[in-house]
A and B are shown apart, each in its own frame.
Chain A
């Protein structure tokens, strides 16, 4: 293993300073993905800045009814948090649908957002991968890609983002709060991850040296119903073939607010804006849902071996929206 420095940061400033001072540094959260990638030679950091001791492990209810989730809150703790379970069920369900019990106990909120794709070509340093090594090509394009993207991919990269949690955050209009050398800022969760385009090596909009400090959930007043559903190869410990997070609120017999996001289909959680636009003001009927979801998935460009993802995502979305509709009208 390539020797690396280990720094345990006591404060956010200490962490960002340490990062800035050490070229090739990485922040270390639960390590459930980064350490694997170091073993595989995919990541070769010069230094690990351990951020798990930072005072970012709280879940704070805000005066406006929102919720601020610290970046180092463990996935299992967040899933079990009473306020999350009560007001943001899609988030709790998404967390519990991810990984395994042991991994959820270790993985952090910030780390979950920053995990890398599980594309087998990305993880194998003997094969080409534009994400791992720009310009080398994409092994998956003509290779084994049943699990890969059907939306927003490019000829440079067809990887998907593996997180379940991030899909729920995208649908829930969460924001990712960052702190870096240039101060603090926040980015909508739905825009935090990127599409690959010509620069698949860049997963997110995070700037070099920036640290995720928290995730901000907007007020879920009126008990906004939300759900998450995931299809996978086995009952536990498998990444999504496709997944859906949705939040739905109706009034006067029409959809007043909707957030819909797909997982497992793209390089980022896929916020279904077209479907949402079609639904706002429409009656929450099966026909309206079908119309909206089909509008969204019309953009899908399946690869040789993953065409099943389009009907799978469609049916998941219709199922989730259909189940939310009665509660949404209360």
Chain B
């Protein structure tokens, strides 16, 4: 007897943990085949223009340099669906940092020297990289990321706003943000005839394989792509990236095994970023705190070559009951690198703005911000009218308030000081949609009593191997240790990517079904398991992607306590507490790690992570981890994650919702609201660095004309 209660949900240790901390886990750039060469891209040094000449001779003259690929001599690719992958195919330079040549050499050092020696001349054209709210080039796209309509309207937002007793009309700004996974993007490729073998750092290798087959016009069956260990991605490895295309091009051109490992400084221009967003919110309410209307309008940028629209107004379609609403996106094409997914695209910046505006409304009403949210809890999803499969936001808010000690809070801004420190607390809600995609899996029983589960899931550091073993063990009714999981290779049954917080639900569903079938076969097996084992297969196509009559989302509540130093304007988060309602939690240990990791990233978004598009040069000024400030250990103190029990029969066989992204969603707003509570000053642009905060404090304290503090 094993008891499924003890298998699913158990705080099982991550299986590859020892390999990782002892350095034996191998990553994509560490497969040192015989004769492996290294390639390094040469980034364009203009923000817009055309390559007019590439002089490779100085590079080719260097010892160890094997070849220089340019748009003139690189193998031709079929036109990709994703324009960011059309590297070395033409002379156009769509943004600074775009690869204009690739140097292949015997060593990484020689490749670096070669890349520095290549002489590229470009005809530069005037560029525009600056997002403004009323940019003349901005337009309303057809849809935003995720297939969401760009504009949704219910009722008459403008009239309702004009007629509201209480009105909040406010603007927020979130800067560009960068994923910066610990492991930079890297790929190793080798061709044998038309057969291609690739090791890559990706969130999903089935998509990589399909893309390479299309680009190089070879059959998918001849391509093997593995991603055994991946040092994080946060969305930036959710789609194939130029590293894998460049590695395959260089390998094809030279006949060698070639590794392309992007240096950290190339990441901001080559692997996507969270686009900056300008938010305007118009909230109307009655004196009772009930919203009469909710307007959220977002302006953002995309690149010249690809439309990607951060869907930051979409969470407002989910969150609160309001009879009138307008949620809309505008985008402008600029000469910037192409933005893409970064942890909770849409929700992270959108909920920062919405939940900050809700806090403004609570302040205006003199109403507790927890209570304000409770009063606006909708009976069904406001935008679609569909019932929620489950929604326990109020429970999260109440449980969080209890754990945090919210009841003891003096609601008056600037009411708490400890010497030169102002202390404040804040709250914000979080939401993230339930996403799930079809996958296939196989399960095998072996004669020795063990089991093997095979699925091309990708473990990007989340613990996928571990939780899938738990799902299998639960379905088979055996201890988790008896189950081995094989993941991370396109040779395994095809599966969806590790993105959109959908991995465990999608893969787990297929694993569960395969194991249930295997258990049925075993139950009717007359004798012992044969030497070759006995297997079962599952494909969730048609089930996992079937539409649902329900609106399915995870919810959460974030609480923050901050100190604001009145001498310097330095803000530090002393406590962060998140409570989540995300269906059934399948592994208490790795789930907590995901929540806390998301909250830490939200902490960086709130306080430290800042990026500027350089108006003169067109690239991101902060391109390394010394200047792009992710939180240090000393910043990430006092972070707690909890969850409420949530049963939901409308999800998947495990009853789980995704947990990889919701941790970031409400954190920045909770911190920003706490800073307002601490200081009495409302800051509306992230991050809350000392330059902004001190300037705001001084403007607040000092009448105009006596600035000097």
Which one, B130-138, B333-341, B562-570, is touching chain A? Answer: B562-570
Q: Which of B679-709 contact A (CB under 8 A)?
A: 687, 689-692, 694-695, 698, 707-709
Contact residue among A100, A118, A127, A142 (Cβ-Cβ distance under 8 Å from B627): A118
Residues of B within 8 A of A237 (CB): 626, 632
Shortest Cβ gap from B562 to chain A (Å): 13
Residue B615 at the chain A interface, CB threshold 8 Å: yes
Q: How many A-B residue pairs have CB under 8 A?
A: 99
- A235 touches which of B568, B572, B615, B622 (Cβ 8 Å): B572
Tell me which residues across on chain A come within 8 A of B616, comparing CB atoms: 139, 142-143
Q: Which of A1, A144, A307, A316 contacts B621 (CB 8 A)?
A: A144
Q: Which of A2, A139, A312 contacts B569 (CB 8 A)?
A: A312
Chain B residue at minimal CB-CB distance from A144: B621
B622 x A120 contact (CB < 8 A): yes
Provide the residues of chain B in CB contact with A231, threshold 8 Å.
567-570, 690
Interface size grouping (class) on chain A: 35 or more
Verify if B623 is at the interface (C-beta below 8 Å from A): yes
Q: How many residues belonging to B are interface residues under a CB distance threshold of 8 Å?
A: 43
Q: Do A314 and B617 touch (CB < 8 A)?
A: no
Q: Cβ of A1 and Cβ of B112 under 8 Å apart?
A: yes
Q: How far is the CB of A51 from chain B (nearest CB, A)?
A: 24
Q: Is A41 an interface residue (CB 8 A)?
A: yes
Q: Verify if B1 is at the interface (C-beta below 8 Å from A).
A: no
A120-B691 in contact given A143-B617, A316-B568 (Cβ < 8 Å): no
A234 touches B690 (CB 8 A): no
Residues in A235-266 with C-beta less than 8 Å from chain B: 235-239, 241
Chain B contacts of A143 at CB under 8 A? 614-617, 621
B687 partner residues in chain A, CB cutoff 8 A: 233
Q: Mark A289-330, 1 if CB is under 8 A from B, else 0.
A: 000001000000000001111011011100100000000000
B335 CB, nearest partner CB in chain A, Å: 16
Chain B residues with CB under 8 Å of A319's CB are 420, 567
Q: Verify if B45 is at the interface (C-beta below 8 Å from A).
A: yes
Instruction: State in angstroms the CA–CA spacing of A184 and B191 once bound together.
Output: 62
- A126 interface residue per 8 A CB criterion: yes
User: B491 at the A/B interface (Cβ < 8 Å)?
Assistant: no
**Assembly CA distance A234 to B688 (angstroms):** 11
Binary contact readout B268-309 vs A (1 if CB under 8 angstroms, 0 otherwise): 000000000000000000000000000000000000000000
Are A126 and B45 touching (Cβ within 8 A)? yes
A104 to chain B, nearest CB (A): 14
Whole-angstrom CA separation of A120 from B568 in the bound complex: 24
Is the CB of B113 closer than 8 A to any CB of chain A?
Answer: yes
A146 within 8 A of B: yes
B600-659 at interface with A (beta carbon < 8 Å): 607-608, 610, 612, 614-617, 621-623, 626-627, 629, 631-635
B708 with A232: CB separation less than 8 A: no
- Tell me the minimal C-beta distance from B437 to chain A in angstroms: 37
B627 partner residues in chain A, CB cutoff 8 A: 118, 120
With A125-B116, A311-B695, A315-B709 known, 14 other A-B pairs at CB within 8 A are A41-B116, A100-B632, A120-B622, A124-B623, A127-B617, A143-B614, A231-B570, A233-B607, A233-B689, A234-B629, A234-B632, A236-B635, A309-B691, A316-B567
Some 18 contacts from A to B, beta carbons below 8 A apart, are: A120-B622, A124-B623, A126-B43, A139-B616, A143-B614, A143-B616, A143-B617, A232-B570, A233-B607, A234-B607, A235-B572, A236-B633, A238-B632, A308-B694, A309-B691, A312-B691, A315-B694, A319-B420
Shortest beta-carbon contacts, A-B, top 5? A235-B634, A144-B621, A231-B568, A236-B634, A1-B109
